[in-house]
Amino acid sequence: MWSAGVPRGVTTSNMQASFDIWPYRHLIAHKAWADFRADSQRNYLGVAWWLLDPIINTFIYYLVFGVFMRRGEPDFVPYLVTGIIGWFWFFQGVVGGSGAIYSSVNLLRQVAINRAVFPLSRVITATYKFGFSLIVLFGALLIYGYHPTVWWLLLPVIMVVEFMLIAAVSLLLASVVPFVPDLSSFIPYALRLGFFLSCVMYKLEWLSPRSQFYLKLNPMVHVLNSYRNVLMYEQAPHWGVLAGLAAAAVVVGAAGMGLIIRLSGLYAKRIMQ
């Protein structure tokens, strides 16, 4: 029989599964920084790549759309740069974050820390890279004659909304990818489609009203256009839309966290097979 008294039903697991990830803030930040540093040590140019990448991409899309398709309006380059940098943050965050639980088998099998640490740290790594690429963004804006205005102060607000979207999508995907690994092969295609449907290299008003209606269902169209509104056109972002997106991100993110908590005890087991 049970000789010594462990009070019955105290806890059945020491898995740190709860919505409270605050105790993990230092670990998340450090892991994000470590991955950022590791990613930048992989090649000779290091962090310079986070600057070169948006420049090269801008050059390519300017060549195709601006030159060959003759859409080179005077504001096209800063328009393009804003879109590319805003989009690649989303892209990097979701690609890294969605696969983070699945790719952390080795850690998952050894420590009972909150599994949300992995996607969140990957999202923050993407945010560090985005931070670097802001140098290119401000550089391009200044070169093309867009000087800082009070509207620029709204930039952080839009960034917070985009961060919430990235984190929410990443958490939700990361919670299920270990059980449906095929999903991680599908995600890059979905993101490529998203890239072409997010007004990165064309303007909404170039399209038919019908197409515009459908494109406006894509949250990233609003995020990217909000950046351009405050940085280039001295206009307010669509507050209502941004607030709606933030609310949706909270719902989706909570669903993702909920799933991660529910499935915490199964990841190590599932991935081992």
Partner 1 sequence: MIDAVREQPGMRDAAQDGDGGEALLSLRGVSLAYWLKKGFLRRKKLYALRDVSFDLRRGDSLGVIGRNGSGKSTLLRLIAGVMTPDGGEIVKRPGLRVSLLSLQLGFIDYLTGRENAILSGMFLGMSKREILDRIDPIIEFAELGEFIDQPLASYSSGMRARLGFAVAFQLDPDILLIDEVLGVGDAEFQERSFSVLKERVRSADSTVVFVSHSANNVRGLCNRAVWLDEGQVRAAGDSGDVLRAYEDSITTKHFEDVKSRVEGQLRTFVRVAGEQTVYVVEQGRFQPLKSWNEFVSVRGRPEDIRVLEREQFEKLRKAVERNTAS
10 in contact with partner 1 (CB under 8 A) = yes
259 in contact with partner 1 (CB under 8 A) = no
217 in contact with partner 1 (CB under 8 A) = no
Q: Which of residues 95-124 bind partner 1 (CB under 8 A)?
A: 106-113
Burial of 156 (C-beta count, 10 Å sphere; 0-12/13-18/19+): exposed
150 in contact with partner 1 (CB under 8 A) = no
47 in contact with partner 1 (CB under 8 A) = no
4 in contact with partner 1 (CB under 8 A) = yes
Min dist. Cβ of residue 217 to partner 1 (A)? 34
Q: What's the longest Cα–Cα distance across the chain?
A: 83
265 in contact with partner 1 (CB under 8 A) = yes
Q: Which of residues 54-83 bind partner 1 (CB under 8 A)?
A: none
Ramachandran bin of 5, using left for φ above 0, alpha for ψ from -120 to 50, beta for the remaining angles: beta
Give the Cα separation of 208 and 232 in Å (integer): 24
| C-alpha dihedral, 151 to 156 to 157 to 159, nearest 10° | 120
Give the Cα separation of 100 and 51 in Å (integer): 25
Give the Cα separation of 140 and 121 in Å (integer): 29
Min dist. Cβ of residue 45 to partner 1 (A)? 14
**Residue where the block lists tokens 């898995």:** 15
Question: Judged by CB under 8 A, how many residues of this single chain contact partner 1?
Answer: 40
258 in contact with partner 1 (CB under 8 A) = no
Residues near partner 1 (CB under 8 A) are 1-15, 26-27, 30-31, 34-35, 37-38, 41-42, 106-113, 264-266, 268-269, 272-273
